[in-house]
Each structure stands twice: as structure tokens, then as C-alpha cells.
Structure 1
Amino acid sequence: MVELPLKMKTAEANFPAVRPRRLRRTAAMRRMVRETLLTPDDFIYPLFVRTGKDIQKPLASMPGQFQWSVDTVIGEVKEASAVGVPAVVLFGIPEEKDACGTDNYNPDGIVPTAIRAIKDAAPEMIVISDMCFCEYTDHGHCGIINEPGHEHYNPTLPQGYLLNDPTLELLRRASVVHAEAGADIIAPSGMIDGMVNAIRSGLDEGGYQHISIMSYAAKYASGFYGPFRDAAESPPSFGDRSQ
């Protein structure tokens, strides 16, 4: 006697009350109940924008992808819109980086500037703003690092430790700046505890209750992360992001 797998046993036990074939009867029925359907409506185009002009810099680790300056990214956005891509997500590479990633919350920083330009050129395009500090800090980590001499230095914590709560205030500030520039969605991607609540309260207090948040904050100490770090020029200068 052949032993049936548990899944088949369960199906057999429910027969004839349960007949999955009923939902496979016609093509229209199958389309209605299928689990996943990908169309251009689901696409989000990641774009890496950097300070400068007339830049379309190839990314060696991601063939066919580029870093763009604001003036050149406009054409790429228009082309994406023409083929039905509804959204872009922006990652910024500033001209200068510092310990606090100040370009991220500078109204004239690279991403706010790109947001305004894209919205002027393609108002229908959904603009998603990546909200992390790793692209903007000179140490490549996702927030303020515990270092002697910094205003938030905590001698009870190890040097190099990421200071979670002071980073939340910068995330609030940067999110409002990006919303003011015209971002439709703020997308926090750093593993900072409490960041969604901090961003939401900052946006609401700033009058941006209509702006959405899309968190995608799980990160891994993996070689698969390498191409993105190349594209965003954001490898950590020490350690990894496991803390």
C-alpha cells in the first residue's frame, strides 16, 4: 500500500465537500482566484542620483544600471513612465558626506532636488524616497555613531555603536524635507527601532498626513548586498550592520 503525503490525505479527507476543480473550471475563473499577477502597475524603478551634471555612470556590479545626475535622470523617468512604470525610488549620492549625513535633510540636497525635478517633468510619476543615512554618512552606517566629541556621545556604550534614538530625530527631519520636495512615499530602509512611528509623527505634525510610508528595513550581512553598496557608494567603513 502506498502512503499518501499529509497534504493529499487532507484533501482526500475533505472530498467530496471540497472540490478545487470548481475554481479551475474556466479561464476567467482561474484568473479571478490566482494568487499573484505581476503587471507594470507593480513595478518600482530604483534610480541612483548623484551630484553633478550630464552624468550617466555605468555600475560595474549591475550591468545596465547607472548613476544619474538630476538633469539626465529626467529622461530616464519619462521613458519609464511611457512604458507604464508607475513609480521610482530614489537613492542619493551626495557630493560630500559627513558623520550625520546632513545632505539627507538639506532641502537643497541631492534627493530633494531630484524629487522636485522629477515632479516638474512627470507629475504622474509616484516618487518614493529611500530614507536611510548610509548613503550620506562618511562612515557608511545608517545613523549617528557613538564617537567621543559628538554631542550625543554616550561613554557607557561602545565606540562605533549606532545611537538609535538620536538617529530617529534625523529621520523625522529628513522625511519632512523629502515630503516638502514632493515625495509621495517615504521608504525607511535602516534597521532603526521606532523609525516608522517617528517618521509618521514627523510627517503628521508637518501637515503631511497624506504621505505614505513603505518600510523595507530587513538587511543582511551578505555578499548579495554588495552591488547595492557599490551603486549607492555606501559600504560601511568598519564592521557591518548587524548591530
Structure 2
Amino acid sequence: MRTLQIAALGALIKATVDIPGMSDDDETEIIQSAVEKIVADVESFMPRAYWERIVTSKAVPDAQRELLQSRLFVYYGDKLPYLPYLSEVDERLILHATIAILTDAMGNTKLDDILSQETTSLSLIAIYIREAMGIDDVEILRRKVADMINLPIPMPQPVVNWLIEKGVAALLSVLSRAVDVSLLECFGKDATHHVKTIGEFQAVLRGNVTRLLHNKMSVVLLPAFVERFVISSVIDTYFELYVTNERINTA
């Protein structure tokens, strides 16, 4: 990859990273150095046939590209830390953003178009949205759900605690998928929702979280209305804590 492309890639990612105590020029140097190391590692790791899809007009089918992206996230997540001059949050963000752009460039939208910002990388937006609306502390979410939940029928507290744990675990398992689906529905080339406000995007995201959570969570012998109540409590608490206008604006 050319030096100018590395610089453009670093500049695109830099907008979301803030390194305390560093000037703008210092931040640029640090982030570009990190991006350069990641790109070199990915290039050496990846078969040449795949790497050529990034720098030429050849394309990888969407489903195969998405699978590759998710596996690269897992693979490089296990390799961290190897950028010790960054915080864990910034390290993960830069790593995921770099991989997202590289794998997006394997499709029909090529790297130079993404770097010139003429075409938006949905994968990159998804990274920022997930970071902005991720669950910072699972235990806080559990406690908040426990504080607000008032089941419609009496149940032993250990059962209530177990239901809350199951509901929160189910939410964690579907959240990333819900964000991806919502972004495609709102901003993809075949968008089905034409959102103009933060509130409209929140409504789409809530709908997808609710649908996926209902599909994921199933408790044998639990009355359906109680299950719906638990799911509703978990979703309401998550949106109250994490899906705020400030967080979406930041993303």
C-alpha cells in the first residue's frame, strides 16, 4: 500500500481518537504509525489473492468479505496488545477501523474511493456506532435492570436474577448484529428506512434489537408474557443508559 494511502487511512481514523497530552501533529504521527503496522501485518498474513482485491478492481462477494472481516477481528483481537503506546480502547478502535476499511475495499467500493471520503464505509460507521453505544459495564446494566424490573407475577428472587442474567446475555449476543442491520436499513444502498433524525435511527435500532432479542431468548416453561416483560425491561434499560443523542452524535 502506498505511503499516501496510509496517510489518508490514518487521517480518516484519527477523527475518532483522542490521545491525552499529544498535539495534533503528534496524534497524526502516532495513529499513522499504528495503522502502518496493522496494514503491514494484515498484508503479510493474508493470501496474495485476497490482498489484490484491496488494491485492484477485483472484488470478493459480500458474504465472503463479511465473514473474513469478522474472523480478522477475532484473530487480531487475540493478538492484542501490540501497540503499547495506545489505550486499550483506542488500540481496539484503530485496529477494527483499519480492518473494516481494508475489507470494505475488497468489495465493489475500492480503497481510493473510501479514502477520498466520496463513498462512506458502512463497516467503519458500524465500528464507531458500536464503540459509542457499547455496554461499558455489564454489571451496571444488570443492576439497573434489577432496580426497575417488577414482574407481573411473584417469582423467587434467584429466578428473577437468573432471568435478568439470561436477558442481558442475550442482548450482548445480538447487539452487534442489530447495529449492522440498522445501518444497512438506514444508510445502505438498498435502504428501507430514510431517517433524518437521531430519534428515527434510534427507533429502527430499537426495533431490530427487540426482534433479534425475542428470537434469541427462549425460556422453557416461562409464561410468554413474563418473557416479554423481561425483554422489554432489558431493552428499556439499555437504551436509557447507552443509546443517547450524545453518543450517537459522537459516532
Q: Which gives a bigger RCO, structure 1 or 2 (Cα 8 Å, sep 6+)?
A: 2
Larger Rg: 1
Q: TM-score, normalised by structure 2?
A: 0.25
Q: TM-score, normalised by structure 1?
A: 0.26
Task: Answer 1 or 2: which has greater helix percent.
Answer: 2
Task: Answer 1 or 2: which has greater strand percent.
Answer: 1
